[in-house]
Amino acid sequence: MVFSSPRFLLFLVVTLLVLGLLPGRDPRKRFLALASLFFYAAWDWRYVGLLLLISVIDYYTAWRISVSESPSVRRRWLAVSIVSNLGVLGYFKYCNFFIATLGPLLASAGLPIPHLEILLPAGISFYTFKTMSYTIDVYRGELAPCRSWLDYATFITFFPELIAGPIVRASVFLPQLDRTPGPTRDRCVQGLSLFLMGLFKKLVIADRMALVVDPVFACPAVYSGPSLWCATAAYTLQIYCDFSGYSDMAIGVARMIGYDLPENFNMPYASGSLTEFWRRWHMTLSSWLRDYLYIPLGGNRHGAWRTYRNLALTMLLGGLWHGASWNFVLWGGLHGAGLAVHRLYRERVGRGFALPWPLGWALTLGFVMVAWVPFRAGSISDTALCLSRMFGLAQVGGVTFLPFWLPVCGVVVIAAHALGAGLKTSPDRGEPGLIERGLRSLGMAARRDPIAGVCLVFDRPTFAGGVGAGLFLLTGFLLAATNTNPFIYFQF
């Protein structure tokens, strides 16, 4: 069930009604777990068992880790958890990638391996990372093990973020299970505001940009350099609005149900450097990679070159997490190299000379945009073709297609970034600033949440708010693209 489908909306309404009617937390938790399993089964019922198996393994291993005093035994149980999770992920996601990569070598050695018919379970990359972080946190002593398997299963299967994140940590989610009041009117209003904003981003911007991006990247040899630049810019908008729109909807749905999920995007395209970009883009993944990969590798504690190596390795693996393809490895490698170069510049070359923000912003955005080419292109050869045409290195010619909605959507995203930046950087003067006064006249308010960060929510009905809400809904209705596009991150 895609969040933007009427089937999901019906499911959500029924879930909210039942959760609102059920007395007590335990019945609500049980129903939530069942509803989440139904949500997952709605995609493919065959993988519900895998999801439950993973949750049983990690619940058990974490419990064994917590009751053991012996470091070696604790390590062994941690290894069981990590090997199980990575084994499942490796089999379903990377098996064919390695067969395709090593196949010719093995075939020449007389060991042909056939391509396997494996269907990738939805959300596997997200829920295996969730479960691994749980056992690692218990192993490190940073988290007490969950006392009830039902609670743990509710955490693993929580439907708003099951398929594509945000990757919520057990330490953030589990305490909420014992204190959530269930759906309330205020939470429903806040959640609905977020959900509608996410829906707008997805249907009006991301899916409209997909209309341009998909045909161009499906057959890049036909198009000219300017068309490829436009498609790359369109993809830059599409992937942000698709994924952050999904995250907004997930956070909104969770809030309606009574839970808070962490912020996943914080105006990433307003970043003044690549390091800053990764603090703002897919924040739950980048913090996961930092805490469970980069720091255990040594982080920045063993000298400059080890730091650069750790950065590059973390980003390479982060790229591979996105998909079993050399394109994702290249994308991760580019970002790893970019982060290392930025760190080198900051610590060695540019010490005492910070780039002016506009220059840093332009360089960062340009780099991020170009790096999306391997992420989106179908193959390494398509990537090379696109980049050579974009930079004028290949034969000139091809169809030129300049999309009308690209600058319009670009302006909307830039304005939203500027609004967000204005809200977050406005000084605490006791008096509301210009942006806050404008928002207040529209009946909106910026809600500060310790987990979800700052988000805009409906506050009270006003005349200007009625005009704004009407125009917002009408724009969404009239301009929503009606091409069927699942969320991009569903494939990961």
Partner 1 sequence: MSSSLSNRPRQAGSPQWLAFSLGALLSLVATELLLRPVFREQTMNEAGYEIFTPGTTSRGFLEGFALSRWTAHGARGSGVPTNGVAPIMIVGDSFVEARQVEDAELISARLQETLCSNSIPNGVISLGHSGDSMAEYVRDAPLVQGWFQPTWTVVVLDRGDFSEAMDPARSAHFVQEGASGGELVLKTRPPHRAMAGRLGALYYGLLNHSSLCKLAWIRTHALLKWWKTEPPLFNASTHATAPKGGEPPPRPPTGAQLQALKNAYHGRLTILYRSPDCAPGARACQEPLDLQVEQEARALGISFVSLADSYPAALARGEMPTGFPNTAPFVGHWNRVGHRIAAEAVAPELIRLHKEHGLF
Region near partner 1 per CB under 8 A, out of 26-34, 164-172, 266-274, 482-490: 482-490
Region near partner 1 per CB under 8 A, out of 26-34, 296-304, 346-354, 428-436: 428-436
Residue type, 386: C
- Judged by CB under 8 A, the chain residues 375 through 404 that form the site for partner 1 are 397-404
Measured between alpha carbons, how far is 301 from 283 in angstroms, rounded to an integer? 23
Q: Note whether 443 binds partner 1 by CB under 8 A.
A: yes
Residues in the chain, total = 492
Is the distance from CB of 150 to CB of 33 less than 8 angstroms?
yes
- Contacting residue, 20, 90, 103, 215, with partner 1 by CB under 8 A: 215
Per rule CB under 8 A, count of chain residues that contact partner 1: 75
Q: Note whether 438 binds partner 1 by CB under 8 A.
A: no
- Contacting residue, 3, 375, 458, 489, with partner 1 by CB under 8 A: 458
Smallest gap from residue 458 Cβ to partner 1 (A): 7
Q: Note whether 42 binds partner 1 by CB under 8 A.
A: yes
Cα 491 from chain centroid (whole Å): 12
Q: Which is nearer to partner 1, 221 or 362 (CB)?
A: 221
Q: Which is nearer to partner 1, 4 or 61 (CB)?
A: 4
DSSP 222-278: GB-HHHHHHHHHHHHHHHHHHHHHHHHHHHHHHHHHT-------S-GGG-SSHHHHH
Q: Which is nearer to partner 1, 182 or 333 (CB)?
A: 182
- Contacting residue, 457, 487, 488, 489, with partner 1 by CB under 8 A: 457
Is the distance from CB of 343 to CB of 311 less than 8 angstroms?
yes
Q: Note whether 491 binds partner 1 by CB under 8 A.
A: no
- Judged by CB under 8 A, the chain residues 266 through 305 that form the site for partner 1 are none
Measured between alpha carbons, how far is 378 from 347 in angstroms, rounded to an integer? 37
Dihedral sign computed on CA atoms, order 11, 162, 88, 321: positive
Q: Which is nearer to partner 1, 216 or 289 (CB)?
A: 216
Q: Note whether 118 binds partner 1 by CB under 8 A.
A: no
Q: Which is nearer to partner 1, 315 or 423 (CB)?
A: 423
Measured between alpha carbons, how far is 175 from 458 in angstroms, rounded to an integer? 27
Q: Which is nearer to partner 1, 10 or 83 (CB)?
A: 10
Q: Which is nearer to partner 1, 74 or 187 (CB)?
A: 187
Measured between alpha carbons, how far is 240 from 205 in angstroms, rounded to an integer? 10
Measured between alpha carbons, how far is 354 from 227 in angstroms, rounded to an integer? 34
Largest CA distance in the chain: 76
- Contacting residue, 7, 140, 147, 302, with partner 1 by CB under 8 A: 7
Measured between alpha carbons, how far is 69 from 232 in angstroms, rounded to an integer? 54
Q: Which of 413, 492, 371, 459 is nearest to 192 (CA)?
A: 459
The phi-psi region of residue 386 (left if phi > 0; otherwise alpha if psi is between -120 and 50; otherwise beta) is alpha
- Contacting residue, 10, 13, 17, 45, with partner 1 by CB under 8 A: 45
Q: Note whether 465 binds partner 1 by CB under 8 A.
A: yes
Out of 282, 322, 335, 342, pick the active-site residue: 322
Smallest gap from residue 117 Cβ to partner 1 (A): 9
Region near partner 1 per CB under 8 A, out of 20-28, 98-106, 319-327, 421-429: 421-429
Is the distance from CB of 146 to CB of 152 less than 8 angstroms?
yes
Region near partner 1 per CB under 8 A, out of 258-266, 288-296, 413-421, 471-479: 471-479
- Judged by CB under 8 A, the chain residues 220 through 239 that form the site for partner 1 are 222-224, 227
Q: Which is nearer to partner 1, 145 or 225 (CB)?
A: 225
Measured between alpha carbons, how far is 204 from 480 in angstroms, rounded to an integer? 4
- Contacting residue, 211, 297, 370, 380, with partner 1 by CB under 8 A: 211
Is 322 in the active site? yes
Q: Note whether 44 binds partner 1 by CB under 8 A.
A: yes
Measured between alpha carbons, how far is 278 from 191 in angstroms, rounded to an integer? 26
Q: Note whether 446 binds partner 1 by CB under 8 A.
A: yes
Q: Note whether 219 binds partner 1 by CB under 8 A.
A: yes
Q: Which is nearer to partner 1, 42 or 304 (CB)?
A: 42
Distances (CA, A) of 233 to 174, 238, 352: 40, 9, 33
**φ, ψ for residue 148, nearest 5 deg:** -125, 130
Measured between alpha carbons, how far is 278 from 238 in angstroms, rounded to an integer? 18
- Contacting residue, 68, 426, 438, 451, with partner 1 by CB under 8 A: 426
**CB-based contacts of 41, cutoff 8 Å, min separation 6:** 48
Q: Note whether 108 binds partner 1 by CB under 8 A.
A: no
Q: Note whether 405 binds partner 1 by CB under 8 A.
A: yes
- Judged by CB under 8 A, the chain residues 169 through 188 that form the site for partner 1 are 186
Cα 359 from chain centroid (whole Å): 27
Active centre residues (catalytic): 322
